Amino acid sequence: MRRLLDGAASRLRDAGVDSPEHDAAELLAHVLGVRRGSLVTAPEPDADQLEAFDALLERRAARVPLQHLTGSAGFRYVELQVGAGVFVPRPETEVVAGFAVERVREALQRRPDPVVVDLCTGSGAIALAVATEVPESRVHAVELDPGAVEWASRNLEGSGVDLRSGDMAEAFPELDGTVDVVVSNPPYIPLEAWESVTAEVRDHDPALALWSGQDGLDAMRVVEATAARLLRPGGVVAVEHADVQGEAAPAVFRATGRWREVADRPDLAGRPRFVTAVRAS
């Protein structure tokens, strides 16, 4: 088993995969139907399993995302179905979701059913995390991309989340002025950065989830306006951004005069990751 994994990792490393050992182990565990930590005690793969493993390695070496090959992605305390047509949730976004969860729990001290809106929900990751961790909350989510809506529908089935298909700029007019927390992981990559984006992202994540105008902040401006419309005075917004937008993203909120306590917050690696603000009265 060790020799098999070493050879697989070498193959992925030569193809430019960032985490070859991890990905090789994940793919073998997927083929064997066990968790990665159980590989040391798993039986040796048979001929059919070796063939399946080889096919998956070939696709991963071609830079198909690991999660597309396994069909799932872990996100905080939930497991999401993912594949072609939906943005694969990243560990960085778990920090944004965690902030939202804490603010929803704070709102729970003031009212029995705090209202949450997830803009650009994609796979439904943040919405599902909030609904799972704060079941008393009323969670609403919106997504524009039809393909992503299909994945979100699968992931949010039975969760109680109100999922809508449409433009976030016009979403949930019936909630105007009543929402406690707005959270979003919008597209934020500048069009000029195309060549710097990894093949897994550039070639496989949907374009609507990636690109956001020349400065990468077009969607951020829409989130700001929509959050200002939806939130009650004192309500909180949290929006993910690129690590190079630690000053530019908060500036979008400060420029409108609709917010107080505008701040930028880091991810677990200490990089600028998301802007937060409180709706002024």
Task: Check whether 185 is labelled as a binding-site residue.
Answer: yes
Contacts of residue 177, Cβ cutoff 8 Å, sequence gap at least 6: 229, 230, 231, 232
Distances (CA, A) of 246 to 29, 85, 190, 275: 38, 29, 14, 8
Distance, CA of 107 to CA of 113 (rounded, Å): 8
Task: Check whether 94 is labelled as a binding-site residue.
Answer: no
Task: Check whether 186 is labelled as a binding-site residue.
Answer: yes
Q: What's the maximum distance between 2 C-alpha atoms anywhere in the chain?
A: 66
Find tokens 């917050």 and name the residue. 265
Tell how far CA 279 is from the center of its chain: 24
Sign, CA torsion 273/76/113/170? positive
Instruction: Give the residue ranges of the annotated binding site.
Output: 143, 185-188
Residues annotated within a binding site for S-adenosyl-L-methionine: 143, 185
Q: Which residues carry a binding-site annotation for substrate?
A: 185-188
